[in-house]
Chains A and B, each alone.
Chain A
Amino acid sequence: DSGVTQTPKHLITATGQRVTLRCSPRSGDLSVYWYQQSLDQGLQFLIQYYNGEERAKGNILERFSAQQFPDLHSELNLSSLELGDSALYFCASSPDPGLAGGPGNEQFFGPGTRLTVL
């Protein structure tokens, strides 16, 4: 158990709909990352938040957005869903890489949310 929690575990919805995925990082971790794993695209970095602020952007579509709340949990919002958005969505967290003696960029992954768009 990595200490990162994600809900829900599974989500089935229809094209055109909007869903929200939730992630709670490990206690004390300030950074949250979102990844998408699909058969054709592999594992792709979507976006990173650090202590409530967006810090890095990857291959995130404009239909997708995320935020990190004051209690450090994060939500990934996916809208106007298409069949191709069906994937496993991972959240990961990491401690402050600036901490002396810290693990340095090590990311701990949650169990993922399996999204199926029908």
Chain B
Amino acid sequence: AQTVTQSQPEMSVQEAETVTLSCTYDTSENNYYLFWYKQPPSRQMILVIRQEAYKQQNATENRFSVNFQKAAKSFSLKISDSQLGDTAMYFCAFTAGGGADGLTFGKGTHLIIQP
């Protein structure tokens, strides 16, 4: 069974700063996918970024990028030029490849962007 650990329950930064959210995972799978989901106060789950384990290049989506260290089983999310709308819970998630598995989530990090 796989596990996902987010060690930062809450983080707070000033607007326009850069912030990094940590995530580690444990699995014996070789083919898998990693995701960061954002859950704002509306409770909607929004996909922020995804990473395929077989790709060495780190994924980026505008202000969001990841640092994927496969050997260390680490998958951190960097948010650049943070905005007030980035305030939300952020969940790291894992799923094995093949499409026959649900997502395993970490407990989440509550990110607060201060004006």
Q: Contacts A33-B102, A45-B103, A56-B102 known; A105 to B45 CB distance under 8 Å? A: no
Select which of A2, A58, A97, A108 is within 8 A of B102 by beta carbon: A58
Q: Interface size class for chain B?
A: 20 to 34
In the complex the two chains form, what is the Cα distance from A42 to B43 in whole Å? 13
What distance in Å separates the Cβ of A114 from its nearest Cβ neighbour in chain B? Answer: 8
Q: Which residue of A lies closest to B32 (CB)?
A: A105
Select which of B52, B99, B107 is within 8 A of A94 by beta carbon: B99
Any B CB within 8 A of the CB of A112: yes
Name B residues whose Cβ lies closer than 8 Å to a Cβ of A. 33, 35, 37, 43-47, 50, 52, 91, 95, 97-105, 107-108
When distances are taken between beta carbons in the complex, the residues of chain A under 8 Å from B99 are: 31, 50, 55, 94, 96-98, 105
Complex interface residues of chain A between 56 and 84 (CB less than 8 A to chain B): 56, 58
A43 pairs with B105, CB closer than 8 A: yes
A56 pairs with B103, CB closer than 8 A: no
When distances are taken between beta carbons in the complex, the residues of chain A under 8 Å from B45 are: 90, 92, 109, 112
Select which of A35, A96, A98, A108 is within 8 A of B47 by beta carbon: A108
What distance in Å separates the Cβ of B104 from its nearest Cβ neighbour in chain A? Answer: 7
What distance in Å separates the Cβ of A92 from its nearest Cβ neighbour in chain B? Answer: 8
Q: Which residue of B lies closest to A107 (CB)?
A: B103
Select which of B37, B43, B91, B97 is within 8 A of A104 by beta carbon: B97
